[in-house]
Chain A
Amino acid sequence: TQLLEQSPQFLSIQEGENLTVYCNSSSVFSSLQWYRQEPGEGPVLLVTVVTGGEVKKLKRLTFQFGDARKDSSLHITAAQPGDTGLYLCAGAGTSGSRLTFGEGTQLTVNP
């Protein structure tokens, strides 16, 4: 079973601060996706990273896939209250038919 560990589990910061969320595994993934989920809604895809070492930017969000394709990070610059939500990483195994999700990082950005 491929497991993904996310850290931190909870993060509460002030508006304007920077933060990094980590997603780690001992397994290799063919790709990794990041989702954001708001209360009462389903997760919404933010980005997919496929190549080891890949870096993708989405406005103030920067996603990185580890060289060995076992880990990933999400960095948010100048966080805003609208960034509040549950951030989930999900890995696609090198074999298998489904995505494995991490436990999520609950981010709260206070105004």
Chain B
Amino acid sequence: NAGVMQNPRHLVRRRGQEARLRCSPMKGHSHVYWYRQLPEEGLKFMVYLQKENIIDESGMPKERFSAEFPKEGPSILRIQQVVRGDSAAYFCASSPSVSLNSPLHFGNGTRLTVT
């Protein structure tokens, strides 16, 4: 039973380019969360999605950032016109239930470096 799969593991982009981060949740999980982490810091919530719906995007910057979780295929976190401050590790987590007492299953993250 495959876990949460994120790709790419490492992504290097020059300022102004676009970054696309992909997340395939665990089989049977329809709830996806994206978190951002800076070195030696905790995780900052960005967005929570269910299939085809954005439920909570309160942690995501309103400009340049977007997320989707289509009916078929992985969830995508898209960052347009990247800047150096976007450099971070981006983690995706999935859950089988809307209940926050259910554990989140995390992927191993995408490390974005903006040069």
Chain B 25-65 interface 0/1 with A at a Cβ cutoff of 8 Å (1 = within):
00000000101000011111100100000011001000000
Which residue in chain B gives the minimum CB-CB distance to A33? B103
Which of A13-21, A57-65, A67-75, A100-108 lies at the interface? A100-108
Chain B interface extent, by class: 20 to 34
Give Cα distance in the complex from A20 to B76, angstroms: 38
Given A40-B108, A106-B40, A48-B103 contact (CB < 8 Å): yes
> Is A97's CB under 8 angstroms from B42's CB?
no
Q: Does B19 contact A (CB under 8 A)?
A: no
Task: List the B side residues contacting A103 at CB < 8 Å.
Answer: 41-42
Q: Does B104 contact A (CB under 8 A)?
A: yes
Q: Does A80 contact B (CB under 8 A)?
A: no
> Is B41's CB under 8 angstroms from A50's CB?
no
Q: Which of B55, B106, B107 contacts A97 (CB 8 A)?
A: B55
B106 CB to closest chain A CB (Å) equals: 3
Q: Does A7 contact B (CB under 8 A)?
A: no
A12 CB to closest chain B CB (Å) equals: 14
Chain A interface extent, by class: 20 to 34
Which of A35, A99, A106 gathers most chain B CB within 10 Å?
A99
Give Cα distance in the complex from A100 to B105, angstroms: 15
> Is A88's CB under 8 angstroms from B43's CB?
yes
A45 CB to closest chain B CB (Å) equals: 4
Task: List the B side residues contacting A45 at CB < 8 Å.
Answer: 103-105
Give Cα distance in the complex from A45 to B42, angstroms: 14
B55 CB to closest chain A CB (Å) equals: 6
Task: List the B side residues contacting A88 at CB < 8 Å.
Answer: 42-43
Which residue in chain B gives the minimum CB-CB distance to A50? B101
Q: Which residues of B are in contact with A by a Cβ distance under 8 Å?
A: 4, 33, 35, 40-45, 48, 55-56, 59, 91, 93, 98, 100-101, 103-109
Q: Which residues of A are in contact with B by a Cβ distance under 8 Å?
A: 6, 30-31, 33, 35, 40-45, 48, 50, 86, 88, 90, 92-93, 96-104, 106
